[in-house]
């Protein structure tokens, strides 16, 4: 993928967040890794004004801005994305939203339980929630400390999503598009879990069946 293609891809996937109703105004962000760099949404730019020229390229190892049209600053969540990419070379895209149902679980400090096969198709077990950051972590390198905490709990191959306690959801994928797809699925399963008056937990064997038929080595879902 060329640099221009990377910028266009990341711009389009950021715009999808708004189109899918997963964010409003300027909240949220999407990034994609390519080799030793990542491209990410600029800070504070409304989605309806976002263009490929707006996207910022940052070095993953250094954290330095490498390309930024009009000297725009990258998302304030850039250190979070960098920590995830540094920890997981298999992750190629990250999405952060403030989608209502998933964020409700994050604000309550509760994981999203697996209550049905819609959840099990995408996530192998409950979607975890982090602890609250300490006052020292908040007053220190705040965003990097969020990234370190998320990276310490994330399991991209089984549960490509996590809830930052009191904040909101982060999802990952092999590409930015897959990360946004996972954010959309996450919001749906959060809604289904939240509206159930007495959620019934899906048996573990049924969770395993649905996850592995799409993601396991012997996967049978889709065109082989």
pTM above 0.85, yes or no: yes
**Rounded CA Rg of the chain:** 17
Q: Measured between alpha carbons, how far is 61 from 131 in angstroms, rounded to an integer?
A: 26
Structure tokens at 164: 């930052």
- Let me know if 157 is a catalytic residue: no
Which of 86, 59, 98 shows the shortest CA–CA distance to 152? 86
The one catalytic residue among 47, 101, 121, 181? 121
- Let me know if 181 is a catalytic residue: no
Which stretches of the chain are DSSP H helices?
A: 3-19, 78-87, 100-108, 117-120, 135-139, 142-153, 176-195, 204-215
User: Which domains are delineated in the chain?
Assistant: 3-215 (3.40.225.10)
Which of 110, 84, 87, 118 shows the shortest CA–CA distance to 186? 118
Please give the chain's pLDDT, 224 residues, in tens. Answer: 888 999 999 999 999 999 999 999 999 999 999 999 999 999 999 999 999 999 999 999 998 888 666 668 999 999 999 999 999 999 999 999 999 999 999 999 999 999 899 999 999 999 999 999 999 998 999 999 999 999 999 999 999 999 999 999 999 999 999 999 999 999 999 999 988 755 567 788 888 888 888 887 877 767 65
CB-count burial class (<10 Å; 0-12, 13-18, 19+) for 159:
buried
Ramachandran area for residue 166 (φ above 0: left; ψ -120 to 50: alpha; else beta): left
The one catalytic residue among 141, 157, 201, 221? 221
């Amino acid at each position: 993928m060329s640099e221009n293609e990377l910028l266009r891809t990341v711009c389009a996937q950021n715009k999808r967040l708004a189109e899918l109703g997963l964010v409003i105004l300027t909240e949220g962000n999407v990034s994609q890794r390519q080799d030793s760099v990542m491209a990410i949404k600029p800070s504070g730019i409304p989605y309806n004004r976002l263009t490929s020229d707006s996207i910022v390229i940052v070095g993953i190892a250094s954290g330095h801005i490498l390309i930024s049209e009009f000297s725009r600053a990258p998302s304030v969540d850039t250190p979070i994305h960098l920590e995830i990419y540094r920890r997981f070379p298999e992750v190629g895209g990250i999405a952060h939203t403030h989608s209502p149902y998933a964020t409700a679980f994050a604000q309550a400090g509760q994981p999203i339980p697996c209550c049905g096969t819609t959840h099990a198709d995408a996530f192998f077990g409950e979607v975890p929630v982090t602890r609250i950051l300490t006052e020292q972590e908040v007053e220190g390198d705040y965003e990097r400390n969020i990234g370190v905490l998320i990276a310490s709990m994330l399991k991209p191959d089984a549960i490509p999503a996590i809830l930052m306690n009191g904040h909101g959801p982060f999802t990952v994928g092999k590409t930015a598009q897959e990360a946004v797809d996972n954010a959309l699925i996450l919001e749906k399963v959060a809604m289904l879990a939240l509206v159930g008056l007495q959620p019934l937990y899906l048996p573990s064997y049924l969770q395993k069946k649905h996850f592995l038929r799409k993601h396991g080595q012997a996967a049978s879902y889709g065109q082989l």
